[in-house]
Amino acid sequence: MNPTEIAPSVVLGPADQPARSPAPSTALTGDDRELVIRDLHVVPVADPSHEILKGIDLSVRKGEVHAIMGRNGSGKTTLAYALMGHPSYQVTRGEVLWKGIDILALSPDKRARLGLFLAFQYPTAIPGLSVASFLRTALNARRRGIAGGDTEIDPSDPTRGGISMGDFRRLIREKMALLRLEDSFAGRYVNEGFSGGEKKRLEMLQMAVLQPEFAVLDETDSGLDIDALRIVAEGVNAQLSAELGVLLITHYQRLLNYITPDVVHVLAAGRIVRSGGRDLALQLEQEGYGPILRDAGLPDLGTDEAEAPEEEPQ
């Protein structure tokens, strides 16, 4: 599929998602510092007979960084999209709790307003919309969310709780400096003619401006040269705090040299087949996925892309 069909990370999405069978699990429990994924099954709307995710169970607490690794086509992006409510994917079973709420019933923009953020593997161009306008609109929508949807507060109006133009300029200058982006970047159209590395930096800039409470970073390292990788990783590290949970999707252990995960998970055949510490990523780099797949009783088809860099489609 072409995942470039929706706009970057704060999207005003379609109506709330249709019902699905609930997970045969315990009642909704509330720990508002944790994202809990239970028995998540996902199919693409275009081909509902093809189940991509076959029961994902995963919990990530605020303050933690979890890495998800897996071969091409293992379902990593599908998981990211399902968490954010991409309309091309349907959750057929399971639940995702965030702040004690089953967010699967919510539209993507409501999820964003609850502090969830997705940095896309393949960000979309929006000709005619400048980076600055885009970020300001996104920030205003997020502030409205923080304000609890209070319609008396108009985030775009500084006299009614919004951010003033001066404050906004200062904020994006500060965040752009963090990511070593030139000031002129703010005036360019979103992702139009951006290099692969610039697209990834814009994703990180959005994250820095929006200050989410939970971020899913899908292959934030792909297409980056080694200096850009370090800058982006520093940008992420600067945002890590006890108030941010991160799900870091990556193919390469090299990103994990810069951003240290608390837990590493391996996704294969639609499930998490192994979880471990940082060492698991090192083991994958040395041995590939073969041994872990064999241990999980799965056929070892295909090559280990840990050995061959991926070409990023533009």
Ligand X SMILES: Nc1ncnc2c1ncn2[C@@H]1O[C@H](COP(=O)(O)OP(=O)(O)OP(=O)(O)O)[C@@H](O)[C@H]1O
Site membership for ligand X, residue 253 (CB under 6 A): no
Whether 38 contacts 57, CB under 8 Å: yes
Q: How far apart are CA 150 and CA 106, in angstroms?
A: 18
Residue 141 or 246: which CB sits closer to ligand X? 246
Residue 299, exposed/middle/buried by CB under 10 A (0-12, 13-18, 19+)?
Answer: exposed
Beta bridge partners of 245: 214
Q: Please tell me the count of residues contacting ligand X according to CB under 6 A.
A: 16
Nearest to 7 by CA among 124, 142, 128: 124
Residue 44 or 197: which CB sits closer to ligand X? 44
Question: Quick check: helix, strand or coil at residue 23?
Answer: coil
Enclosing H/E stretch for 110 = helix 108-113
Site membership for ligand X, residue 72 (CB under 6 A): yes
Smallest separation (angstroms) from Mg ion to the CB of 179: 22
Could you tell me which residues come within 8 angstroms of residue 246 by beta carbon, excluding any fewer than 6 positions away?
A: 60, 64, 65, 66, 214, 215, 216, 217, 236, 240, 259
Show the binding pattern over residues 31-60: x = contacts ligand X (CB under 6 A), - = does not: -------------x-xx--x-x--------
Q: Which does 70 bind (CB under 5 to 8 A by kind): Mg ion, ligand X, none?
A: ligand X
Show the binding pattern over residues 73-112: x = contacts ligand X (CB under 6 A), - = does not: xxxxxx---------x------------------------
69-88 positions binding Mg ion, by CB under 5 A: 76-77
Q: Which does 46 bind (CB under 5 to 8 A by kind): ligand X, Mg ion, none?
A: ligand X
Residues that bind ligand X (CB under 6 A): 1, 44, 46-47, 50, 52, 70, 72-78, 88, 121
